[in-house]
Structure 1
Amino acid sequence: MTPLLDPLKPYPSARLREAMAGLEAPAGTAPVPLHIGEPKHPTPPVITDALTASLAELEKYPLSAGLPELRQACAGWAARRYDGLQLDPETEILPVLGSREALFSFAQVVLEHVSDDPKPAVVSPNPFYQIYEGATLLGGGEIHFANSRAPRFLPDWSQVPETVWQRTKLVFVCSPDNPSGSVMQLDDWAELFALQDRYGFVIASDECYSEIYFGGNKPIGGLQAAQQLGRSNKGIVMFTSLSKRSNVPGLRSGFVAGDAELLKAFLLYRTYHGSAMSIPVQRASIAAWNDEAHVIENRRLYQEKFDKVLPILQTVFDVRLPDASFYIWLKVPDGDDLAFAKTLWQQAAIQVLPGRFLARDTEHGNPGAGYVRIALVADVETCVKAAQTIAALYRR
């Protein structure tokens, strides 16, 4: 086996299972899974209808570049969503099998490791989506972290040494952020672009939570920020997905957009990688990107959950409405996030994810320690009951 596999760490959910081994929930109590960010709202009929209506097209081999109609639907959505953002569907958009697959494979295209040279560096926020680390290590790179801390929970790029910036090939950003739900503002993008101009790295902008926002405060995207700052999209690739936006995590559908030169290389890689999207999934994706009614209803459901859950938790905890996403990033009272998660499981069968499992230890500490991530993916009633139980346990 390749030695590149050796440094890979278990996924946060696997670490949680290991930490909970031997601990029993109360007898007869059904588990309340709030630890995994898997959307549970019903899949909209506009998507399932389009999928089933095109099943006959399973007899055809799909192209890695996708149907022209799909790329056009993605470009149309981007223009509507990001204030007139203009993307060429022929050269600046590429369908992918969900953002996770694309984030991983894109790193393999960007990173180039010559054995006699120092490893290429990749910079990631911390806490972070673990695929960033795995993609880096399996691409022969070396990962460095910029910790995110209160009150804004956005990466502190000043923690990255100059010697690391000088060999950085790729920077992952996640806005809206997983796990905190924080959103980069235009000034934050300007700061990152200034670093890009100085060091010449590629930006991979993970925006899969961009459509779960509140009060009409649409998160700005990386390509949109570049446009507003009078820049081109050179060196920037945006990653987005239907999983959270449209409640179809099993569809495995999204797209990447941005720098045409990078996407040309990415398409070549994907042609060999064998990651073409089936035509029925493409038809369903076209229907999804062209419809906003179901997305508005999706946001309304999440808003309702936050409106009912946060006041309950705020009677006991220091917790706020995220800028976006369906996560609550909750600061635990005694600072021990793992003990907090164990207590909830043993006392009430409630599953939450300790923040330490979403981050790495650094010389500046582990920025996830002392927090837990709660995913409000269950129905409203379940989320409210869970919040009431959690508050009652810690009000004693």
Structure 2
Amino acid sequence: MNFEKYPFEKLNELLAGIVPNEKYELSALTIGEPKFETPQFIQDKLKQTSSSLRKYPSTIGEPFLRESMINFVQNRFNITLSLNQIVPTFGTREVLFNFPQFALYNKQNPVMAFTNPFYQIYEGAAIASRAEVIHIDLIKENNFKAYLSDEDLKRCDLVILNFPNNPTSASMGVEELGEWVKKALEFDFILVNDECYSEIYFDETKKPASLLEASILVGNSDFKNVLVMNSISKRSSAPGLRSGFIAGDAAILKDYLQYRTYVGCASPIPLQEAAAVAWNDQNHVAEFRKIYKKNFEIAKEILGIETPEATFYIWLEVEDELEFTKKLYKEKNIKVLPGSFLGRNGLGKNYIRIALVENEEKTREVLTRLKDFING
């Protein structure tokens, strides 16, 4: 298999040999990893349940974990799922990689579409599935929203959306997502939305919609052909727990669950215990949202950046993203991610991605440094 180098490997190569300005401490704004302590009550639950390491975990996950995820979906999206409509996963990266291989296995000439620019695991899954790829280009002219012609959709076996979006921070409303559900039913393809940024929002009146909500809106209450994935990593500052889920179409999930028994991605029970208390609690998530909202207020103050509806990314347009990245590192000891490393066919060119995942003090200092660089 001929996989592309991961964006961070490309970044290391781009910056190799550059000596950064030692006047400044290194600030890495590259990776979407929260820099905050995992809440203590989650850590405590992990410690308290460590004795259950003596047990083999089951592929389907413990009932308490599935119930906590169902509770999350109910509380957040007002959707009641049954146990056969949700499968716990080891984060979302593994399911984003292996689900397409499962879904496309019996297709003679599989076709997979996904948003572009993108989280690179989508492309890796397509390569592993031997699938032809159709890119759903997210561009400034369409407000970075997803559109694909009926001609292309008729050819698709699997479509992966990602809203709220990494890296552009764009969102799509429930009606817009509903149009995608209609197309999935009309042309009979599996439609997935990667929703791992759904809880990093800043206006209670504009909470990001779930594809499950959109499915019900257009009358597809059984979620036929519709699936969502979500993760605890961003919302709870707990990427190390590796707790996610895939939910929706029960018929698809029944066969996928059997497939997963061979994959071997069962989560250790102490991690399930800690994840369950995190999924069941919304208060700590609200506190993290306040931090990210403040970071965007600082970004608006210093850089004039408008706060997006969701995510913790800035998708900043620049003249030459590769030269900008190299010079910024050399002169200000700041690392950012060139947008062209996240896209194909020219998408992402002349953009950089900035992850606002530090505390208020660090965010203000580094964005001031960035502004000084931009102003020359």
SS in 1 for 2:126: helix
The counterpart of 1:214, out of the listed 202, 210, 229, is 202
The counterpart of 1:324, out of the listed 296, 301, 310, is 310
Distance, in Å, in 2 between the alignment partners of 1:156 and 1:149 is 10
Structure 2 counterparts to residues 141-290 of structure 1, below 5 A: 141-150=131-140, 152-158=143-149, 162=151, 164-216=152-204, 217-232=206-221, 233-290=223-280
Structure 1: state its 5+ residue gaps. Answer: none
TM-score under structure 2 length normalisation: 0.96
Matched residues, number: 373
- Bigger mean CA offset, 265-274 vs 27-36: 27-36
Asked whether the 8 Å contact 1:113–1:140 carries over to 2, the reply is no
Distance, in Å, in 2 between the alignment partners of 1:285 and 1:367 is 36
Task: Letter of the 1:93 partner, please give it.
Answer: I
Task: Letter of the 2:315 partner, please give it.
Answer: W
Structure 2: state its 5+ residue gaps. Answer: none
- Bigger mean CA offset, 147-156 vs 368-377: 147-156
SS in 1 for 2:341: helix
Asked whether the 8 Å contact 2:178–2:217 carries over to 1, the reply is no
TM-score under structure 1 length normalisation: 0.91
1:336 matches 2:324: no
Task: Letter of the 2:145 partner, please give it.
Answer: L
Task: Letter of the 1:65 partner, please give it.
Answer: I
SS in 1 for 2:297: helix
1:98 matches 2:66: no
2:44 corresponds in structure 1 to 49
Task: Letter of the 1:177 partner, please give it.
Answer: N
Asked whether the 8 Å contact 1:243–1:251 carries over to 2, the reply is yes
**Residues 40-84 of structure 1: CA distance to partner in whole angstroms, max 9, x if unpaired?**
1110012111111100000001110011111111111101100x2
Root-mean-square deviation over aligned CA pairs: 1.3
The counterpart of 1:378, out of the listed 335, 358, 374, is 358
Asked whether the 8 Å contact 2:21–2:332 carries over to 1, the reply is yes
Distance, in Å, in 2 between the alignment partners of 1:105 and 1:354 is 27
2:332 corresponds in structure 1 to 348
Deviation at 1:194, TM superposition (A): 2.8
Distance, in Å, in 2 between the alignment partners of 1:186 and 1:287 is 28
Asked whether the 8 Å contact 1:208–1:244 carries over to 2, the reply is yes
Asked whether the 8 Å contact 2:20–2:332 carries over to 1, the reply is yes
The counterpart of 1:23, out of the listed 18, 21, 24, is 18
**Residues 266-325 of structure 1: CA distance to partner in whole angstroms, max 9, x if unpaired?**
1111101111111101100110011111101000111111111222011xxxx3212200
Asked whether the 8 Å contact 1:212–1:299 carries over to 2, the reply is yes
Distance, in Å, in 1 between the alignment partners of 2:214 and 2:180 is 11
SS in 2 for 1:245: coil
The counterpart of 1:81, out of the listed 76, 101, 104, is 76
Deviation at 1:112, TM superposition (A): 2.4
SS in 1 for 2:95: helix
Asked whether the 8 Å contact 2:198–2:208 carries over to 1, the reply is yes
Task: Letter of the 2:217 partner, please give it.
Answer: Q
Asked whether the 8 Å contact 1:112–1:140 carries over to 2, the reply is no
Asked whether the 8 Å contact 1:183–1:323 carries over to 2, the reply is yes
1:67 matches 2:67: no
SS in 2 for 1:87: coil
Distance, in Å, in 1 between the alignment partners of 2:182 and 2:249 is 18
**Residues 145-198 of structure 1: CA distance to partner in whole angstroms, max 9, x if unpaired?**
01101151112313xx72x43331100000100011111112321221232123
